Amino acid sequence: MSLLRRRKPINESSDSKPLLEKEGEEHHEEDHDEDEDDGNGKNKKTPSKIKKKPPPQSKWSCLDTCCWFIGCICITWWLLLFLYNAMPASFPQYVTEAITGPLPDPPGVKLKKEGLEAKHPVVFVPGIVTGGLELWEGRECAEGLFRKRLWGGTFGEVYKRPLCWVEHMSLDNETGLDPCGIRVRPVSGLVAADYFAPGYFVWAVLIANLARIGYEEKTMYMAAYDWRLSFQNTEVRDQTLSRIKSNIELMVATNGGRKVVVIPHSMGVLYFLHFMKWVEAPAPMGGGGGPDWCSKHIKAVVNIGGPFLGVPKAIAGLFSAEAKDIAVARALAPGFLDNDIFQLQTLQHVMRMSRTWDSTMSMIPRGGDTIWGGLDWSPEEGYSCSKKREEDDTQITDQAGAENAVCKARSANYGRIISFGKDVAEAPSSDIERIDFRGAIKGLSAANTTCRDVWTEYHDMGFAGIKAVAEYKTYTAESIVDLLHFVAPKMMARGTAHFSYGIADNLDDPKYKHYKYWSNPLETTLPNAPDMEIFSLYGVGLPTERAYVYKLSPHAECSIPFKIDTSADDEDTCLRDGVYSVDGDETVPVLSAGFMCAKGWRGKTRFNPSGIRTYIREYNHSPPANLLEGRGTLSGAHVDIMGNFALIEDVIRIVAGASGEELGGDQIHSNIRNWSEKINLQLEETQVYSSR
């Protein structure tokens, strides 16, 4: 209160009021104080005082009104807060039901009534970005954050000390491991990825539903890992793969020998592919579990939204640190993110940080032109965004052919993942003049020193290098890898030691025993586990980034020289804001999520020598009907699908013991079968030999 009194007169003297009135105000204030302090004693004096007072206008100053007003609001707020806290917990649900009609039972409750019970232990493998990271050792600027989440949770620290945060989240540029004196580690346990931020569920809904049929901590395990590292490095630094192995063995042993069901999501899919190879590889490089470890311990792998063959989004992220969302924001408020005056350079910081993360390179499209299409063809060609709605509901297989013929002329060239300029993206390949960038000399940019300390490898490229990149005009999946080698040689040198993006000619080649091939489904064989099942569950019906139209940044000196050309739009060819989109779950195109299960591993192929059965389960996206539903129970979006009731039901049936056949086999809404047909990939070993 004393502080308050001191403050008030100062404020008021700053007002340009006549002296007399001010005196009156102070008088009035005294009045107040007396009233508050000892109201009883002064009671009888007050009426007379009121009469003495100067004109009433001055008594109720603006400041008082403000305080009064704030007071009112506070009281209301507290009252509401109190009401809210005193409210029975079922009230929101009641309101929702009153508006939208009774909600369907959550799948856990429904299936419990059917008599399903916990049977197989469950292992969750979270994807990139969704897992929490916490600080174990940091620089001075991160004091007081010990064991607090740097990633996930409220992200409060990002706003408070952004540079410090970026520094701690980055890895070492050379090794891809911890920088000196900084240890950021994954949060362990189910809390690692149940909620990404407060209220934004990732695994929480699935966990809650599994708990309904009897799952608990001893039968559920979240295989949290540091998603910034390359997969093998998680073992080198944290022994994460060994922990997963030991935990799976423990769960199988304590649950009466029942095999585990593994549920990876997003990048976790690749991580688990890596794990399956690692665990059977002999000891120095692998886990030494022996050749039948997988068949002994794993019943099924239920991949949710798996980017088996990579995602084009990763390219945009690595190339210019932006994706569709950022590009749009950039177009709306130009100069805000890159503002030199505020010294923000946000994107450069983000880029520098994300380029130290090896894991982002695991998502670069794999399989090159064979899978993703060349200059003039792509498996998805003929896909039309505007027609998509009707198509989805009817049977597609017949339509696709006809549609192909009609739309041929105006179809997007999805094969050209990056094109410079819209005209280049649309022109026939013969019309594009390309100058090979690979030999181009990188000049040192003179402006380098003025760019402050934000280091991205673009500074080393110089104008000549940048120009060379733009001159090549358009890039397909194969040349993208070369492009990235060109623009970010250090990063790619690190990355290619851990990941590979090709297609194996001969899988028996001893070089494929190296761990860098383990996470690429086109360069590994599945383990010898004929009883295992592989599911691919993903959402369809959402436009998903597939190819980009780029342009040179106007002020290329001190920032990222390329950016998405958000002005490029074309209704017919699915081009919007410089991004060509295709069917998928908003992040992963159908092709990447479905191809391996639809064709690459279907039956006995050379990638799947023991004939592990594969199933595709697609879920059509339908947006939530109203705001009250939150993120919806029918969503097909990459993360929101984890709350999709149909998907949860499938998962629960599997963990309770059902096989893929009992589930209903494939459930396909998209064109994945047609598109897979178009991909010409050798699947049988004999053919490989005969072709040599």
Partner 1 sequence: MASILRLRKLYYVEPAVKCSSVRFESLDESPKIDQKLGKKEEDVICANSLALEVKNKRKQAKEWRCMDSCCWIIGCLCTTWWLLLLLFHCWPVTLLRAPELPGPGVRLKREGLMALHPVVLVPGIVTGGLELWEGRSCADGLFRKRLWGGSFTEIFKRPLCLLEHLSLHYGTGLDPPGIRVRAVPGLVAADYFAPGYFVWAVLIENLAKIGYEGKNLHMAAYDWRLSFQNTEIRDHSLTRLKSKIELMYITNGYKKVVVVPHSMGAIYFLHFLKWVETPPPMGGGGGPGWCAKHIKATMNIGPTFLGVPKAVSNLFSAEGKDASYIRAMVPGVFDSEILGLQTFEHVMRMSRTWDSIVSLLPKGGDPIWGNMDSSPEEGHVCDFSKKSHSQTSLSDNNVNNSDVKRGFQVKGLAKYGRIISFGKAASVLHSSKLPTVDSKEFSQTSTSQNLNISCGEVWTEYDEMSRQNIQNAAADKAYTSTTLLDLLRLVAPKMMRRAEAHFSHGIADNLDDPKYNHYKYWSNPLEMKLPNAPDMEIYCLYGVGIPTERSYVYKLSPNSRCKSIPYQIDSSLSGEDNSCLRGGVYFADGDESVPVLSAGFMCAKGWRGRTRFNPSGIATHIREYRHKPPTSLLEGRGIESGAHVDIMGNSALIEDILRVAAGATGDEIGGDRIYSDILRMAERINL
Active site residue ranges: 266, 585, 638
Nearer to partner 1, 38 or 571 (CB): 38
Least distance CB 672 / partner 1 (angstroms): 36
* Size of residue set near partner 1 by CB under 8 A: 65
Question: Per rule CB under 8 A, is residue 387 in the interface with partner 1?
Answer: no
C-alpha to C-alpha distance for 313 and 320, rounded to whole angstroms = 11
Based on the shown chain and the rule CB under 8 A, indicate whether residue 223 belongs to the binding site for partner 1: no
Asked if residue 521 binds partner 1 (CB under 8 A), the reply is no
Say how far apart CA 563 and CA 613 lie, in whole Å.
43
246 near partner 1 (CB under 8 A): yes
Binding to partner 1, residues 5-44 (CB under 8 A): 7, 32, 35-36, 39-40, 43
CA separation for the pair 450, 340 (Å, rounded):
12
Q: Is 162 in the site for partner 1 (CB under 8 A)?
A: no
Stretch that binds partner 1, among 51-59, 259-267, 540-548, 667-675 (CB under 8 A): 51-59
Please select the residue that binds partner 1; options are 253, 402, 435, 446, rule is CB under 8 A: 253
Choose, by CB under 8 A, the member of 120, 168, 185, 494 that binds partner 1.
185
Question: Pick from 585, 604, 631, 584: which is nearest to 525 by CA?
Answer: 604
Rounded Cα distance, 50 and 399, in Å: 87
Check binding of 191 to partner 1 (CB under 8 A): yes
Sign of CA dihedral 140, 141, 143, 149: negative
Is residue 186 a contact point for partner 1 (CB under 8 A)?
A: yes
Q: Does 148 bind partner 1 (CB under 8 A)?
A: no
Smaller CB separation from partner 1, 39 or 664: 39
DSSP 8-class letter at 336: T
- C-beta closer to partner 1: residue 499 or 515: 515
Residue 355 identity (one-letter amino acid) = R
- Which is nearest to 111 in space by CA: 662, 650, 635, 664? 650
Neighbouring C-beta atoms of residue 410, cutoff 10 Å: 12
Tell which one of 18, 115, 144, 428 touches partner 1 (CB under 8 A). 144
List, in sequence order, every beta strand (DSSP E) within 378-489: 418-420, 474-475
Return the residue of 90, 386, 395, 430 that touches partner 1, per CB under 8 A: 90
Answer left, alpha or beta for residue 683, where phi above 0 means left and psi between -120 and 50 means alpha: alpha
Binding mask 54-83 for partner 1 (x = CB under 8 A): --xx-xx---xxxxxxxxxxxxx---x---
Q: How many CB atoms lie within 10 A of CB 559?
A: 23
Q: Select 284 or 428, whichever has its Cβ closest to partner 1.
A: 284
- Residue 136, number of CB atoms within 10 A of its CB: 12
Give kind and range of the element (H or E) at residue 687: helix 685-691
Token pair in block for residue 352: 């520098």
By the rule CB under 8 A, 109 interacts with partner 1: no
Q: Report the residue number, 35 or 369, with the smaller CB distance to partner 1.
A: 35
Long-range contacts of 47-51 (CB under 8 A, 24+ apart): none
N residues, the chain: 692
Site for partner 1, rule CB under 8 A: 3-4, 7, 32, 35-36, 39-40, 43, 47, 50, 56-57, 59-60, 64-76, 80, 89-90, 136-137, 140, 143-144, 146-147, 160, 183, 185-186, 188-191, 194, 207-208, 211-212, 214, 216-218, 238-239, 242-243, 246-247, 249-250, 253-254
